[in-house]
A and B are shown apart, each in its own frame.
Chain A
Amino acid sequence: MAEEKKQPRIGVFVCHCGTNIAGTIDVESVKDYAATLPNVIVADDYQYMCSTPGQAKIIDAIKDHDLTGIVVAACTPRLHEPTFRTATKEGGLNPFRFEMANIRDQNSWVHMHDPEGATAKAKDAIRIAAAKASLLEDLYPKSVPVEHAAMVVGAGVGGIQAALDLANAGIKTYLVEKNPTVGGRMSQLDKTFPTLDCSQCILTPKMVDVGRHPNIELHTYTEVESVDGYIGNFDITLRKKARGVMSQDEATAKGIVGGGCNGCGDCAAACPVIKPNPFEFGMAPRKAIYIFHPQVVPLVYTIDFDACVKCGLCVEACGEKKAIDLEMTDTFETVKVGTVILSTGYDMFEIEKKREWGYKQFDNVITSLEFERLICASGPTGGHLIRPSDGETPMKVAFVLCAGSRDNTGVGKPYCSRFCCMYSLKHAHQIMEKIPGCQPYIFYMDIRSFGKMYEEFYYRIQNEGAKFIRGRVANVLEDAKTKNLHVYAEDTLLGRPVDLEVDMVVLAAAVQPTENIDPVRKMFGVSCSQDGWMLEAHPKLNPCGTTTAGVFLAGVCQGPKDIPDTVAQAEGAASAASIPIHTGKVELEPYFAQCLEEKCAGCGMCISQCPYSALDLIEKDGKQVMHVTEAKCKGCGTCGGFCPGGAIYMQHFTTPQIVAQIDAFLLGGEQ
């Protein structure tokens, strides 16, 4: 805090960023101006300040001019503050004596047509930054130990991969899944493009692995209830939803020797309640006590208590195993982890909102996920593609691509859902293979086959005889008698209207973030993009990270991507999440609050402001003063913005520093 200070000696470095800055801003005059500012000892400019020679300028200047503070006017601190802090440190100064003026992202780029205005703004920005730099102090990050455990939320293929990687790296991993089984969407798929290997065949071994890995603690039918703490030390409370059925482990823990669910299914056979099975999109029945499909992990039945009539027949059928408890209630468990990976995947867009394509109005209009279930050998029809209206085999099938994607009408989604082109090609292949003579028609806007072996797959399907019609489908109407469908479109290549009669229409509906994801996202402090996908820390340089230290992203929750990309990102996220754990400690930025006890009136008003309960009143020298628990403080400064007496000292964002910035802008400060 208030140490003996020498007169500040500031060095200012103005970056050209090639022509990114210098093409708009008159760097030369900005540099000359900077040299006239109070406390500025040296001002320089360079093509690329972030390059090695650019950084060397800082390092040398600190030594040559005995500087006490550094200002770099360049891009945004969100990109290069760490770079320049390191250079500052290498020059022998405390890294927190560095301040950045953003003259690119928030200046030259947004005022490209106003060089004069941009140059004036750059001068002001440097004056403001130099004023702050004159008041910066040595700060020391606090180092906190990291719990040797991680959590993965969501157990689709992304979450499964991330959990396996972490576990194989020797890290205790909690894998949390809201459904009764792991597997996510991939377990609903039949085959996967472009290799056409069976989805369950490649997924099931991984599902089994997470079920029995000694380092993975699997929590299915479980949701995150609350999150406390910070990187290295997250305290996460899980809500284990009442399943109504005990696993063998749970039964053993309760002293029921040899008991617990062994997956025999006697209960379901006895259960009188029949409901549509959501896993099969209602195309197959399920009992009130159920499993999604035979490969579920863990193999434990679950009671749908909304459907259950509590007749007790299942309990009777279960007998000595005593697995079923109709009075079971939700339980809570708090675990401590160092880092977290979110992998909550996606839902399908409610395509019935696009009335023009007739989903839910006409029987033979289905979605592509329903198609996956219908064509799948373990699906409701045993792999026979049939028309829902009459059970007949369709011979002409239209695939409507970009159904709700790339749609700027406000009803659909503006983005590309990325995997629909490819899976629709796959679907076309599947019907031609399974039903000789069956003709697929693919209505497309563009075919985006951007992956490895994808373009080749596209040509293959073309050669196999799929017909491609370029143009978005305008309308689908039903022939009430035959239940056939008329697809109306414009063939934009031939410039001709199209009216095609088909037996079945498959809508490649857009995807969207998982329903009810907002509370989860917010608990972890992760922002979302305009479309609701979770926001990565940087789209190019940090695609797995988030702005919350220690929280990472994997899979479609971050944006639409197919299985290879999901798995690749999951491996990246697992690697990123394991680094702090293996390092054993992390450094937290020292932006925490302190109490200036001589100014503190002991009123305690700030206590209510702190979201992390980091403040308490304590007695010191016969006087009540505020005390900050540094381990709890996250440095938001809300207490400091509130304290009527100015008694809170917000490190790196002190009141004198902020006021100096305001004064520097408004009152000038040239010498």
Chain B
Amino acid sequence: MAEGEWQPKIIAIICNWCSYAGADLAGSARTQYPPDIRAIRVMCTGRVDPLFIMKAFADGADGVLVSGCHFGDCHYIAGNFKCAKRMFLLKSVLKDLGIDDHRLRMTFVSASEGAKWAMVMEDVVKTVKELGPSPINQLKQ
């Protein structure tokens, strides 16, 4: 692939109540951000099985974002907290596998934080672009 042409493939798994609503709010406010992220909606980040993230990396994702409500604001009391614990553990697994753990990110964006969602999008895309294509993709080639 020629330099400069590479577009990262980033997947986001986001919760229905906070981050999905925050992302919608960025829309109503017409806040612009790069279009490189594809979102999958779940009811709560608690639903996020580490397997989903491993699968995404195995499929060639260059980055994965998980985003939910702020601690204490979870629609289901503490699903976001339980997810965060899993993500923390998963990061060390990724490192062991030779995948830079910055490729996996967990953020907390509430339903009123449209502007923050846009910032997260900018930042995740920037981070992943700096890291370059996932080593799994490089192996595959």
Whole-angstrom distance between the Cβ of B73 and the nearest chain A Cβ = 6
Q: What is the bound-complex CA distance between A641 and B46, given in angstroms?
A: 6
CB contacts (< 8 Å) of A643 on chain B: these are 49
Whether A653 touches B27, Cβ cut-off 8 Å, given contacts A78-B20, A547-B17, A641-B86, is no
For B46, list chain A residues within 8 Å (CB): 609, 636-638, 641-642
A102 to B59, CA, bound (A): 23
The reply to whether the CB of B26 lies closer than 8 angstroms to some CB of chain A is yes
CB of B128 within 8 Å of the partner chain? no
Is A662 in contact with chain B by the CB < 8 A criterion?
A: yes
Nearest Cβ distance between residue B59 and chain A, in whole angstroms? 4
Q: Which of B17, B61, B75, B118 contacts A666 (CB 8 A)?
A: B61
CA distance in complex: A503, B39 (Å): 61
What is the CB-to-nearest-CB distance from B19 to chain A, in angstroms, rounded to a whole number? 11
* Residues of the B chain whose Cβ atoms lie less than 8 Å from the Cβ of A76: 20, 24, 27
> Which residue from A117, A638, A659 sits with its C-beta under 8 Å from B55?
A659
Question: With an 8 A cutoff between CB atoms, is B28 at the interface?
Answer: yes
A635 engages B43 (CB within 8 Å): yes
Assembly CA distance A124 to B27 (angstroms)? 18
Distance in Å: Cβ of A185 to nearest Cβ of chain B: 25
Q: Would you call A530 and B76 a contact (CB within 8 A)? A: no
Of A113, A611, A640, A666, the contact of B59 (CB 8 Å cutoff): A666
Closest chain A CB from B63 CB (angstroms): 11
User: In the complex, how many residues of chain A place their beta carbon closer than 8 angstroms to a beta carbon of chain B?
Assistant: 55
Sorting the interface of chain B by its residue count into under 10, 10 to 19, 20 to 34 or 35 or more gives 35 or more
A window 623-665: CB within 8 A of B: 634-638, 640-643, 646, 650, 653, 655, 658-659, 661-663, 665
A527–B17 CB distance below 8 A: yes
State A470–B78 Cα separation when bound (angstroms): 49
Which chain B residues border A512 with CB–CB below 8 Å? none
Stretch at the interface among A104-112, A153-161, A263-271, A567-575: A104-112
Cβ contact of B42, chosen from A104, A111, A637, cutoff 8 A: A637
**Which A600-636 residues have C-beta < 8 A from chain B?**
609, 611-612, 634-636
- Tell me the minimal C-beta distance from A235 to chain B in angstroms: 15
B56 adjacent to A666 (CB under 8 Å): yes
Beta-carbon contacts of A108-128 to B below 8 Å, as 1s and 0s? Answer: 011111100110110011001
B47 engages A110 (CB within 8 Å) = no
Cα–Cα distance between A612 and B44 once the two chains are bound (Å)? 14
Q: What is the CB-to-nearest-CB distance from A151 to chain B, in angstroms, rounded to a whole number?
A: 20
Q: How far is the CB of A432 from chain B (nearest CB, A)?
A: 42
Hey, which chain A residues are within 8 Å of B47, CB to CB? 636-638, 640-641, 650, 653, 658
Given A109-B27, A662-B52: A527 and B40 within 8 A (CB)? no
B2 on the interface (CB 8 Å rule)?
A: no
On whether the beta carbons of B76 and A111 are closer than 8 Å, the reply is no
| Contact partners of B49 in chain A: CB under 8 A | 640-643, 646, 655, 658
Cβ of B27: which chain A residues have Cβ within 8 Å of it? 76, 104-107, 109-110
With A and B bound together, what is the CA distance between A612 and B74 in angstroms?
Answer: 13
CB of B82 within 8 A of CB of A547, answer no
Shortest CB–CB separation between residue B138 and chain A, in angstroms? 15
A547–B16 alpha-carbon span in the complex (Å): 10
Q: Which residues of the other chain, A, contact B59 by a CB distance below 8 angstroms?
A: 662-663, 666-667
Residue ID in chain A nearest B72 by CB atoms? A522
Q: Hey, which chain B residues are within 8 Å of A638, CB to CB?
A: 44, 46-47, 76, 79, 82-83
Q: Does B51 contact A (CB under 8 A)?
A: yes
User: Are A659 and B79 in touch, CB under 8 angstroms?
Assistant: no
Q: Which residues of B contact A609 (CB under 8 A)?
A: 46, 82
**Which of B18, B52, B60, B78 meets A659, CB within 8 Å?**
B52
**Complex Cα spacing A665 to B18, Å:** 23
* Chain B CB within 10 A, most for which of A591, A612, A665: A665
CB-CB under 8 A from B38, the residues of chain A are 121, 124-125, 128, 665
CB distance from A507 to the nearest CB of B (A): 28
Nearest neighbor of B33 in chain A, beta-carbon distance: A110
How distant is the Cα of A655 from the Cα of B47 in the complex, in angstroms? 9
- Judge whether A77 is part of the interface by a CB distance below 8 angstroms: yes
- B95 at interface (Cβ–Cβ under 8 A)? no
Contacting residue for A120 out of B35, B51, B86, CB 8 A: B35
Asked if B111 is an interface residue, CB under 8 A from chain A, the answer is: yes
CB neighbours of A634 from chain B (8 A): 76
A665 touching B32 in the complex, CB below 8 Å, given contacts A528-B112, A641-B46, A642-B86: no
The minimal Cβ–Cβ distance linking A33 to chain B, given in whole angstroms, is 15
Is there an interface contact between A105 and B24, defined as CB atoms closer than 8 Å? yes
Complex partner residue of A642 from B32, B55, B82, CB under 8 angstroms: B82
B67 contacts the other chain (CB 8 A): no
Mask: chain A, 137-151; 1 = CB below 8 Å from B; 0 = not: 000000000000000
- Within B43-97, the residues touching A (CB, 8 Å) are 43-49, 51-52, 55-56, 59-61, 69, 72-73, 75-79, 82-83, 86
Contact check: which of B18, B35, B44 meets A636 at CB < 8 Å? Answer: B44
**Cβ 8 A contact of B21, one of A78, A110, A612:** A78
C-alpha spacing A32/B131, complex, angstroms: 34
Nearest-neighbour CB distance to chain B for A616, whole angstroms, equals: 18
A529 touches B79 (CB 8 A): no
Q: Which residues of A contact B16 (CB under 8 A)?
A: 78
B101 within 8 A of partner (CB): no
Chain B residue at smallest Cβ distance from A652: B43
* A527 touching B111, Cβ below 8 Å: yes
Q: A529-B112, A666-B56, A667-B59 given as contacts; is B30 within 8 A of A658 (CB)? A: no
CA distance A640 to B43 in the complex (A): 12
The 10 closest A-B pairs by CB, nearest first: A638-B46, A637-B47, A105-B27, A636-B76, A666-B59, A117-B35, A636-B44, A611-B77, A109-B27, A105-B24
Could you write out 14 A-B pairs with CB less than 8 Å apart? A110-B26, A110-B35, A522-B72, A527-B111, A528-B112, A547-B111, A611-B79, A637-B47, A638-B76, A638-B82, A641-B49, A642-B82, A659-B52, A663-B59
